[in-house]
Structure 1
């Protein structure tokens, strides 16, 4: 099925309104003020030609201005998610009415949710699994174009990595002073007054790049999406942490912050190390350097040349070193394809088993919210935080993720603390779903799992919706 496409770049989507928003959002000099009636290409069945094989390996700056460097082949998906993060509620959406499962709107196309068939028995037949660095280096953003200088080997036998692994700032001594000041200051904070369950007023501090209480909203939207057969979600005690404008490639640190948000709120092992809120990126750099000093994954210092005060990318080994140095139990693993199993099927199997181990499978509920920690998730070029897993009626599957590259949409912000009723739940969930169309591009994945808080037990709690 051909989808509407942007005339200015390779972006396509099954939803014509998404393409219109994309043009206004990312090509204002070309599309601003253009009425939809004057854009016949949005309903044309012939999409714009995709990049040739020579161009798909080229890296380009995100035209949205988020600071990311992406390949031409991935630009469409990247811009699609920028549109998803900017979705505002339609005027006919109700945020306070009682929960009812509403039908999907007529323009919703389930095929746009990037998913693939998932068969757990087949997935359990094989799959290569190993620990350590599963690929050249697990980065948190796309590598730059420039070639690296010849590699050097340190006393520990580790090779000094270059721009293809550590990003365009692989050899910088220190980041710009304006960026360091921005990271030291952190996201802008505001005070909000909310009514508690017992009718009292309470003051809360909100950080602009952090969103709490999203898991209950996602659970309610999954319940309303008639295409979802079953969905499993992690503890509601994790918050979504996204990057700040002009920040660049610090996704690995943001994912560590998301895991720390769970540790703090769940009072999980190690929470005493974070008494004053989430550590800043600069704090995390110091903690990783200290972990290397203690001998945890210490080859990372040789490979990176040190990360303190720089914009070098980090990955799973650095996250693991940090948590281990703080006596926070964690388990790192690598999943790759084999002759019997695709890499993303092995990933699906691992994540599904993780969430299913915490529930009573004989329960007939469709949506389960567990007490399990979220999972640090790495593939070549990017990292995210896995917050859940869903199986669709047609057997297809999706990971549910918090992606630090994208902020929480206005629509999702407005649904927090409400019954979260939506006429088109699939549209709102799009920013959190990663399926086979996305995952099949990668041959190796890495996961870092925290040990659950001591009180975690198999969940038989009722569904989050009524």
Structure 2
């Protein structure tokens, strides 16, 4: 590693942005460098409905959960805490665009896509029936009679179809909760605050619109302009601008899976894609999605999910790719779910890069080398162990490394990004890398995971058009 790269004196973390490193130390190593003491004093999650057998099950689990000390309302494992706080730092840095610190990147060979692998050739990637992280099973349709055996499952209830009851390592700290707290249900029923906004359109007219606090539209064009202005970026491929960034409410907790489903539905409803007729009133709420998923199970789509989860309606249990797939298929929305893991010639994260790159490049003419392409492809539901996001693009850096670009429901849109919507200033930003940090997921983040799941919406008709920046 370059000795001039700012680094944390207490752990391997480093970044060219000295401010980012300083804030990492402040959040992750308070009190003279000692890491947060959460692992020494993990708060208990008492469930009044937890039986002795379930308590014994939890003793076997290696997962320890802690409420985010940043106050976002998320509950994460202690192993993921440092990464989670680093992303909060990126979110905070992007909130202030008045600084002058330039973000640059060193060439890390571990980030490179293998040069000996041609994108067009087949590669050895596991396409097993997907799981929640390395645990869940799902197939592409009615699984009531085709449940696959699970290699690792918690001790617990076994249903008539052979599905085993999952625990906290898969469903989160509230795995055995029968009902969410009344205050949380009221929060979800009320939804995010809305306001009216009047803005000047590019042609000089006044336009009035309703703004929902946890939803941000028109972000893809901003990201396209920032990538175009970032000298460290070589090529970028982006999904349809119709997708909306939807983040969690304050104190909401672990509803990332639902928020990602909402983001895919925001594309469907706005673009009038297949299935949009099922949502005449717009994107459904979390509580409505829970009902739709349970209805999908009733119809036989991935119905083992009911046994595995014990039911999700009115609870805070984590959901994943199987539930998203069941929902879309029950509504006749074409989709394809797959699982990617490493093989002899390629790591899991490189397989992910190649799959996502192939998805976006399939709609870009090979002879065109414009730096930034905005396609009209749907975004991708993206799951790894313990968390899910929405993939909105793929980025190749000048140093040969790659990133996926995501909307993460865990983090809100910064004021700095909001100010750039419908503005020409994005293409002239002094620090585009600083603003893009919250949307990039690099090899350093992805290489921690051995398996990824993707759920792609199938386009009803060939998508030929694209826009370039």
TM (norm. structure 2) is: 0.83
Task: Give the 5 Å matches for 1:100-111.
Answer: 107-111=102-106
Aligned twin of 2:111? 116
Query: What's the secondary structure of 2:127's corresponding residue?
Result: strand
Match of 2:186 among 181, 184, 189: 181
Distance 1:58 1:158, change over 3 A: closer
Match of 2:219 among 210, 214, 226: 214
Task: Give the 5 Å matches for 1:289-304.
Answer: 289-304=294-309
Aligned twin of 1:144? none
TM-fit CA distance, 1:4: 4.8
Aligned twin of 1:350? 355
Distance 1:336 1:21, change over 3 A: closer
Task: Report Cα offsets for 1:181-232 as digits up to 9, x if no partner.
Answer: 1001111100111233443322211110000000000001111111211100
Aligned twin of 1:98? none
CA contact (8 A) 2:106 2:399 kept: no
TM-fit CA distance, 1:59: 4.1
Distance 1:458 1:298, change over 3 A: same
Aligned twin of 1:137? 136
Q: For residues 389 and 50 of structure 1, what CA distance do their matches in structure 2 show?
A: 34
Aligned twin of 1:100? none
Aligned residues: CA RMSD: 3.0
Task: Give the 5 Å matches for 1:278-427.
Answer: 278-419=283-424, 420=426, 421-427=428-434
Aligned twin of 2:75? 69
Aligned twin of 2:89? 83
How many residues of Structure 1 are paired with residues of Structure 2 in the alignment?
A: 424
CA contact (8 A) 1:10 1:50 kept: no
Query: What's the secondary structure of 2:317's corresponding residue?
Result: coil
Distance 1:24 1:337, change over 3 A: closer
Task: Report Cα offsets for 1:68-88 as digits up to 9, x if no partner.
Answer: 233444333211211222223
Task: Report Cα offsets for 1:389-410 as digits up to 9, x if no partner.
Answer: 0111221100000000111111
Distance 1:133 1:25, change over 3 A: closer
TM-fit CA distance, 1:271: 0.6
> Structure 1: which 5+ residue stretches go unaligned?
32-40, 42-47, 94-104, 139-147
CA contact (8 A) 1:11 1:77 kept: no
Match of 2:268 among 263, 271, 287: 263
Q: For residues 115 and 236 of structure 1, what CA distance do their matches in structure 2 show?
A: 31
Match of 2:446 among 439, 442, 445: 439
TM-fit CA distance, 1:60: 3.4
> Structure 2: which 5+ residue stretches go unaligned?
41-61, 138-152
Distance 1:182 1:301, change over 3 A: same
Task: Report Cα offsets for 1:256-302 as digits up to 9, x if no partner.
Answer: 00000000110000111112122110000000000000000000001
Distance 1:380 1:460, change over 3 A: closer
Query: What's the secondary structure of 1:235's corresponding residue?
Result: coil
Match of 1:450 among 452, 457, 460: 457
Distance 1:337 1:384, change over 3 A: same
Match of 2:200 among 189, 195, 200: 195
Aligned twin of 1:141? none
TM (norm. structure 1) is: 0.83
